[in-house]
Amino acid sequence: MAILIIDDCKDTQMLIKKFLEDDCKANLVFADSGQAGIETLNDEIELILLDIVMPGKDGIETCKEIKSMTAYKDIPIIIVTQHKEIDVLEKAFAAGASDFIGKPFNRIELRARVCSMMMLSKEMKKRQEKELELTKLSTLDGLTGVSNRRYFDQMLEREMGTATRNGTPLSLILFDVDFFKRYNDRYGHLAGDEALKAIAEVSRQQLKRPADIVCRYGGEEFVVLLPDTRIDGAFIVAEEMRRAIEALQLPHEDSEISEVLTVSLGVAELTDAKAETPSMLIKHADAALYHAKNNGRNKTVSYNKELVQCSFLSNTCEL
């Protein structure tokens, strides 16, 4: 952890160093201007001591800019100033300052205020870490570890907005496990859970870009969101997933189509971002999935509105 001191006066810097270096269990980092201080910011900084009167960017402007930066807006800032006028202090607090120390300051006051703010900073970091962990947990499926339905709904809404604004494509894959009820009846629900975990993990491994996500949609059903992807590209991804899941070689003696566990997949693309809704895109993928399951299973089907042309190539069905 570190304390950043932003002050253009070398004497003030030396005095702060003298008062704090023996009492504070933190590295002291110095900058002689507002801009230099901003450029010095990093994740180790837990407190900032900031002078108001400096050449170029003054303390008030510097404070405002730091508080506008998402990564550093929660770092407490103590204003160090010889100006004790009410209007100056009001501007400092309005800019985001947490406290102030008047110049000339004494060692006891400086140490007390700094220690108090360091404790506050540590507590804020702990709270943020807990909130981040809770947020992460709230978006994950408890069984498979992939994203959950809630997160998918949020991301689909966001990605459809992006596609509408930028005129970029968006595709979706919906798939579920063939004869999964029979699998559970035959091998037990614990084995079924393990199968779902394996399917989720191998599906995630087929995704190559950070923006692509696989989510558990419900039960044995999964959904994959592919931003900036046309339906032909999504079809390729879906086929890679289908083959990878089949390659797991999970025995399924009660399947009507294979000796191992397989999946059927439906693929759809957002064709009219301004007219279509998230539920319509899901409905299209679901229609393609339904067609796959009713035409042999263990295949990928791409949706189009005509639903009349179907060609069987190897183990796939194009709609």
240 in catalytic set: no
The rounded distance, in Å, linking the Cα atoms of 128 and 135 is 10
The rounded distance, in Å, linking the Cα atoms of 52 and 7 is 8
Q: Are strands 45-51 and 2-6 parallel, antiparallel or unpaired?
A: parallel
| Cross-strand pairs, 260 | 251
Is-contact 280 296, C-beta < 8 A?
A: no
Token match 């008030």: residue? 60
The rounded distance, in Å, linking the Cα atoms of 318 and 309 is 7
The rounded distance, in Å, linking the Cα atoms of 287 and 183 is 24
Is-contact 227 170, C-beta < 8 A?
A: yes
Is-contact 297 257, C-beta < 8 A?
A: yes
Query: C-alpha angle 117/122/127, rounded to 5°?
Result: 125
Which residues have CB under 8 Å from 210's CB, separation 6+? none
Q: What is the DSSP string of 50-112?
A: EES--SSS-HHHHHHHHHT-TTTTTS-EEEEES---HHHHHHHHHHT--EEEESS--HHHHHH
Is-contact 163 170, C-beta < 8 A?
A: yes
| Active-site residue identified among 220, 239, 269, 276 | 220
User: Would you name the residues annotated as active-site residues?
Assistant: 220
